[in-house]
Structure formats: structure tokens, C-alpha cells
Amino acid sequence: MGGHALLILLSVASLSLLPGAMPLQPSQAWSLFKLRQLLGDPPVLGTWRNYTDFCYGGDYKTASAFVECYEDSVTQLHIMGEPGARPLPTTFSIDAFFTTLSRLPDLKVLTLTNLGLWGPLPGGKISRLQKLEIVNVSSNYLYGELPRGLSQLGSLQTLVADHNMLGGKLPGWLKDMPLLAVLSLRNNTLQGTLPESLKDMPSLRSLVLASNNLSGNLPELSNLQVIDMANNALGPKFPRLGRKVASVVLAGNKFSDGLPADMLASCYLLERLDVSGNRFVGPFPAALLSLPSMEYLSIAGNRFTGRLSGNASCGENLRFVDLSSNLLTGSLPGCLLAAPGKTVLFSANCLSTGDDSQSQHPSPFCRNQALAVGIVPEQGRKKSGAKAGVVAVIVLVGALVVSAAVVFVVRKARLPKARPARRLVEHASSAYPSNLLADARKNLWSLGWVGLGGKNGRNAAANL
Ligand SMILES: *[C@@H]1O[C@H](CO)[C@@H](O)[C@H](O)[C@H]1NC(C)=O
Ligand SMILES: *[C@@H]1O[C@H](CO)[C@@H](O)[C@H](O)[C@H]1NC(C)=O
Ligand SMILES: *[C@@H]1O[C@H](CO)[C@@H](O)[C@H](O)[C@H]1NC(C)=O
Ligand SMILES: *[C@@H]1O[C@H](CO)[C@@H](O)[C@H](O)[C@H]1NC(C)=O
Ligand SMILES: *[C@@H]1O[C@H](CO)[C@@H](O)[C@H](O)[C@H]1NC(C)=O
């Protein structure tokens, strides 16, 4: 008897000595079991027993399902099902689920992935979880728009809902979430343009909206460090970035202007730039290779032009470069060739490399293609730099006119006087087949405007 009492005393003493050794409030334990039931008793929660003390006992915890408490209240709930989970049966109610969840009022961190959750996120219920800081509800079957109720979660820092079926536009009210730093909605069905108000989110650091159906130009994203917009229909303008940016993935979109070489040159922290599979034109700024932090650079599958120089330099962190399928000429920089541990892809350009393993087009191919993309849309002409192009065309036409005039005058030497200039132009046009004139014009345009006018255009001219 006495021994028993001592044991109990000892165990009570040891209980109270352990940090956080308070049993979970019974109502919260009940809620946890209710959640398990609403999830259809998934195998991942098989270790939860009626006598499990979620805050104290450690045995029930697995890497895929665990609870953390502060004193007698749940602050973290993590339930990660098996990849490929089917949707829960039609009897499942996302409303009931979040109602139960809201009875864990101190919840700060919530992970509910691969559980077959389906339905629209119930904004009203979610907004009761006022302390939420980090939420990951990836790989479920959530649909509908992001509910306005989310904007009432004033402490929310991270919202990850990748691989769901969330739709509609990205809402402008996101700017009302003062602490939101990470927003990831990869592989959903978001549509339309991004709200300008994204630029008014001083805390936002990481924006991942890859594999949706977004279109139009991106707003200014100068606070962001991580941008992943791959596989949408965004463009044509390259977005305005800030100097702190570390990773920019714009692969598989409809960007078709040039790369802003000056802006990118000041991105000293940029580690990853992937603009592959777009319609970019204009000169490839080789200075990207030598950015101090650059590790991963892909411009594959665009129409970048320019003559690379064998002596261009590379940054010391560079480990992956893909220049494939562009219109580059010149020589592959030596720093890319002699590069153990580096992956360097450059096939389907017009480079002279001495390396036959990555086949190249003959250089006229790149030149002709460059000329073809050199015909810029109307808007290109309005840009200030385009004036130079217009002047150049006028000068060229003038030169043709003069030489035509010479031919004309020599041929028709017996005519007493040169005709007025206007007539000469007409004759020039007929003396030179119209396609020749057009070609000459194209040439100039491509030289001057391949990079959409201005400074870039002149660089292109120098590079071709
Ligand atoms: C656990 O509790 C539930 C009711 O909350 C009860 O239906 C079930 O039989 C109990 N299971 C065990 C193993 O005690
Ligand atoms: C969200 O959960 C998924 C699945 O458990 C995991 O793979 C992913 O890394 C998590 N994302 C974040 C940002 O924590
Ligand atoms: C995209 O999400 C769907 C579920 O909405 C999933 O079935 C699919 O595997 C995901 N695709 C990728 C590439 O992850
Ligand atoms: C993407 O959006 C466009 C309209 O912007 C629409 O026509 C198209 O059907 C959408 N594609 C998908 C797969 O939803
Ligand atoms: C690279 O070589 C070219 C000649 O091939 C030279 O004009 C240029 O100045 C060199 N550039 C550097 C950075 O050494």
C-alpha cells in the first residue's frame, strides 16, 4: 500500500517537473477525436487512442501526425496523409470540419495535407482561428475562391495551399494581411490578372503561383525574394523587381519583351533566374552569368540574340546554365566550357564551340530568325529609343534613293535635268524591287529594335 502511494507521488512529481507537462483540456482532446472521425479515421491517425495525452505523451506521435501544446492547449496540429489520397466521401462537410477545428482556439500552426478534404474554404469559420500563423493545406480538393474571412487572420504569416482546385482571381484584400510573408498557391486554377495591391504588401517575401491560369503583366514586386510564376499565361513585360530578389522563375509564360539588363545587373542576391519557354526577344545580357550569387540560369527556348564572347566571365557560384534553343552567336564563354561540376546546356543556337555534342544551327539561321523577330509591334515605335530606328530607316531609304538617283542619272544621262526628289523616290521604289527595300528596312529594325528599341536595341545591334 505505502509503496503504491509513493509511486503515485513520484509520478505526480515527475509529471509536474516536466516542462509543458499539463494534460490537454478534455474539450480539446474531444475536438481532436472529432476531427479524426470527420476525416474518416485515416490510417495516419491510427496511433491516437482514447487515453492518449496529446500534450504530454510522446508515443502517439509520428512524423506524419502530431500535436504541440502550450500548457493545456493545442498550438500546433499536423496531419499529413499519404500522397494521392482520394476525396473524402460526399458525407464529408468542410464546414463541420472547420467548426470543430475552431474549438482549438490557440492553434498557431496547422498542417492538413493529402487528406482528401474537399469543398470551399469556409471563411467565417477560419476567421475564428485568430492566432493562426502558418497554414499548409496542400494536396487536397479545396475549390472556390479564397474566402474574404482569411483577411481577418491578422497573425497569418504563411499560407500554403498548393495542389488544390482553388479558382477565381487572386484577391486584392490580401494586402489587408499585414504579416503575410509566404503565399503559395501552386497548381490551382487561379485566373485573370494579379492585383496591383500586391505591391502594397511590405511583409510579402515569397509568392508562388506557378501552374495556374494567370495572365497579364505582373505588378511591381520589389519586396519579394522568391517569385515562382511558372506555367501561366503571364506577360508580355518582365516585372519590376527589387534588389533583394533571390529566385525568379517565370518559365512557360508569354513574356515577349526584352530582359531589363540594367535592373537585373543590380540584383546581387539573385541565385536563380529561369525565364525558359517564353517568347523573349532581344539581346541576352551576358552579365547575368557573372552576377555574384547566380547559381541557376535558364533562358532556354526563347529568341534571345547576341554574340557571346569567349572571354565573358562567370560568377563563382554558377552551377547550372541552360542557353539552349535561342539565336545566340559567337563563342561559348570559356568559363562555361572548362567547368567541372557545372551543367551547361547550349544546343540549338549558332555558337562556335569546338564541342560537337550539343548541335548548333549554321549562323545564317540565327541571323534570319533574328531578322524575323526584329519586326516589332506598333507599340515599339512609340518608345523613345525607337526614334533612332525611325531616323535610321529614313537615312537608309535616303541612301537608297541617292544611289537609285545615281543609277537613274547615269542611265538616263541624256535627260537634261534631274527630276524632283519626289519623282526620284518613285523611281527608286520601282528600280529596287519592293522586297529588297523591305529587307533593308527589316535589317535596320532588327539591328535597332530587336530589343524593343532604346538602349537594348542598340546593344543588340552591336551584338549581332
Ligand atoms: C474511445 O472513445 C469512444 C467515444 O469517445 C468510444 O466509442 C470508443 O469505444 C473508445 N475506444 C476505446 C478503445 O476505449
Ligand atoms: C506543405 O505540406 C507538404 C505535404 O506535407 C509538404 O511537402 C510541403 O513542403 C509543405 N510546404 C510548406 C511550405 O511547408
Ligand atoms: C496538381 O494538383 C492536382 C490536384 O488538384 C494533383 O492531382 C496533381 O498531381 C497536381 N500536379 C502536380 C504536377 O503536382
Ligand atoms: C485560362 O483562362 C482563359 C481566359 O483567360 C480561358 O479561356 C481558358 O479556358 C483557361 N484555361 C483553363 C485551363 O482553365
Ligand atoms: C574579350 O576579347 C575581345 C577580343 O576577342 C576584346 O575586345 C575584349 O576586350 C575582351 N574582353 C574582356 C573582358 O577581356
For residue 141, the ligand 3 atom closest to its alpha carbon is 5
Residue 434 binned pLDDT confidence (cut-offs 50, 70, 90) = very low
Query: How many angstroms separate the CA atoms of 253 and 236, rounded?
Result: 9
Q: Which of 231-245, 291-305, 360-374 has the lowest mean pLDDT?
A: 360-374
Query: Quick one: pLDDT at residue 354?
Result: 72
Residue 236 reports pLDDT greater than 70: yes
Residue 213 Cα: closest atom of ligand 4: 1
Q: What is the dihedral of CA 154, 156, 160, 165, to 10 degrees?
A: -20
Ligand 2 within 6 A of CB of 113 = yes
* This prediction's pTM: 0.78
The secondary structure element, H or E, covering residue 8 is: helix 2-17
What value does the mean pLDDT take over residues 125-140?
97
Residue having the nearest C-alpha atom to atom 2 of ligand 3: 163
User: Which residue's CA is the nearest one to ligand 3's atom 8?
Assistant: 163
Kindly state if the Cβ of 191 falls inside 6 Å of ligand 4: yes
**Mean predicted lDDT score pLDDT of the chain:** 81
Q: Which atom of ligand 4 is the closest one to the Cα of 189?
A: 14
Match 467565417 to its residue by C-alpha cell.
Answer: 124
Distance CA 9, CA 7 (A): 5
- Compute the distance between CA of residue 390 and CA of residue 396 in angstroms, rounded to an integer: 10
pLDDT digits (tens, 9 = 90+) for 291-301: 999 999 999 99
Q: What is the Å distance from ligand 1's center to 71 Cα?
A: 25
Average pLDDT of 200-207? 96
pLDDT of residue 250 exceeding 50: yes
Provide mean pLDDT across the span 377-394. 40
Give the residue, 224 or 4, on which the prediction is more confident.
224
**Cell numbers at 290, concatenated:** 557573372
Q: Write the residue with the smallest CA distance to atom 10 of ligand 4.
A: 213
Q: Which residues line ligand 3 (CB under 6 A)?
A: 163-165, 187
Of all protein residues, the one whose alpha carbon is nearest to atom 9 of ligand 4 is: 213
Confidence of residue 351 (pLDDT cuts 50, 70, 90): very high
Does residue 65 or residue 405 have the better pLDDT?
Answer: 65
Nearest ligand 2 atom to alpha carbon 134:
14
Ligand 2 and 136: CB distance under 6 A: yes
pLDDT band at 344 (very low <50, low <70, confident <90, very high): very high
Strand partners, 293: none
Q: Which atom of ligand 5 is nearest to the CA of 313?
A: 13
What pLDDT is stored for residue 436 in this prediction? 36
pLDDT at 244 over 60: yes
Grid cell, residue 404, equals 537609285
150-159, 381-390, 448-457: segment of lowest average pLDDT: 448-457
Residue 80 has pLDDT above 70, yes or no: yes
User: Residue 4's pLDDT is what?
Assistant: 52
Lowest mean pLDDT among 43-47, 171-175, 197-201, 445-449: 445-449
Q: How far is the CA of 23 from the centre of ligand 2 (A)?
A: 29
Do 147 and 123 meet the contact criterion of CB atoms below 8 Å apart?
yes
Nearest CA to ligand 2 atom 1: 136
Q: Whose CA is nearest to atom 14 of ligand 2?
A: 136
Looking at per-residue pLDDT, the higher value among 209 and 14 belongs to 209
What residues contact 343, with CB distance under 8 A and at least 6 apart? 319, 320, 321, 322
Report d(CA 374, CA 451) in Å as an integer.
Answer: 8
Q: Which atom of ligand 3 is nearest to the CA of 139?
A: 4
Averaged pLDDT for residues 367-395: 52
